[in-house]
Amino acid sequence: MTADAQSPVSFMFQVNRLPKNGADVTLEADEAQRAELARIHDLLSVEAFTAELSVKKWKADGVMVKGRVRARITQQCVVTLDPILSHIDEEITAIFVPETSKLARHLDETEIILNPEAEDLPETYSDDSIDLGALAEEFFTLGIDPYPRKEGITLEEALGGEVEEKRGPLYEQLKKLGGGN
């Protein structure tokens, strides 16, 4: 999704109205939103999409969002092209700070710092609002299997037991995924 595109499950949460003890938010996609999620993410269908989130103050001016996104989707098997029902259950944790906050670190565009063990830098928001639906969709996307394969199916079975001895890069990728010998 591009930065300018709006999530089909967009839900703008006003941070300036956050109660002292935080707020719980539940998002459930309707039929039209699920159809759009399926289209955007190249899925056969999205049967269910729910996000249960807890929004609390973090440090002086930040906001922490924790929760889960759960979904039931139908994808196409990369070997047989049969539909496969999959379940997504992703934990969500994100911190947001205003663009003007001292906690919003802006790195020099020419410098890249990689530390896989470090915590993620806080995201920034403007206009006192965070799109909780877009955040849930981000984590939904992480839960989609990029190479769904029908359980127990091998490439040889799908091709009727005959696979040419000359095996190319696609075969090697499927072999790594458990689809080849």
Enumerate residues 6+ apart whose C-beta is below 8 A from 89: 68, 69, 70, 143
pLDDT of 106 = 54
* CA 144/CA 40 separation, integer angstroms: 12
Query: For residue 146, what pLDDT is reported?
Result: 93
For position 160, what pLDDT does the model report?
66
Per-residue confidence in pLDDT tens, the chain, 181 aa: 444 578 999 999 999 889 999 999 999 999 999 999 999 999 999 999 999 999 999 988 889 999 999 999 999 998 888 999 999 999 999 999 988 776 665 544 555 556 566 666 788 888 889 999 999 999 999 999 998 988 887 767 666 665 555 567 777 777 777 655 5
Q: What is the DSSP string of 83-107?
A: EEEEEEEEEEEEEEEETT-TT----
